[in-house]
Amino acid sequence: MFAAENGLRGDPRLQAISEAIRVVPHFPKQGIMFQDITTLLLNHKAFKDTVDIFVDRYRDMGISVVAGVEARGFMFGPSIALAIGAKFVPLRKPRKLPGKVISEAYELEYGADCLEMHVGAVQPGERALVIDDLVATGGTLSAAIRLLERVGAEVVECACVIGLPEVKGQHKLNGKPLYVLVEPREIDDCY
């Protein structure tokens, strides 16, 4: 569900967050309107507002794990985890974590990929939040849910800063709630 549909309609922070995200046409390939959150990170107030909205939502949900999807989930996840008193667990691409890992493969529209997590990072019964910057088809988030559930975690919700219009109205992902702050913008004035 989009934040504006869940109590934040008209909240000026959502507009500021949306405007802080740069749109780069035709990157990384023709036809893609890349949503560049690095400009959001440069805007202290918009970045803080992004984290604060998530913290306000998750503070009282008994979440003990914030699992961030590589790489942009790493930019929001640790701040949220610290603020709600949870640990941060990175979900990485293959061969990026040392030691024993558990893996979950998934299909993409252009191939396949895999997420990995350290064995023992999450204990059975822990309540988890999955965080990433953007949800398009939900394939990566679905793999993150499966990975966490395989070790016995209860995934409470998935959260993203940006959700493509295709996921609007999609309040669940693999049966888990999906929470999105803003829709992508089409074009940036600086291009």
Q: Is 72 a catalytic residue?
A: yes
Of 96, 59, 91, the closest CA to residue 74 belongs to 91
Q: Is 185 a catalytic residue?
A: no
Point out the catalytic residue in the list 72, 92, 104, 157: 72
- The residue written with tokens 């979950």 in the block is 104
CB 69, CB 104: distance < 8 Å: no
74: which DSSP letter?
H
What span, in angstroms and rounded, lies between the C-alpha atoms of 4 and 19?
15
Give every CB contact of residue 108 below 8 A, 6+ residues apart in sequence.
Answer: 139
What span, in angstroms and rounded, lies between the C-alpha atoms of 86 and 112?
31
Active-site positions read: 72, 109
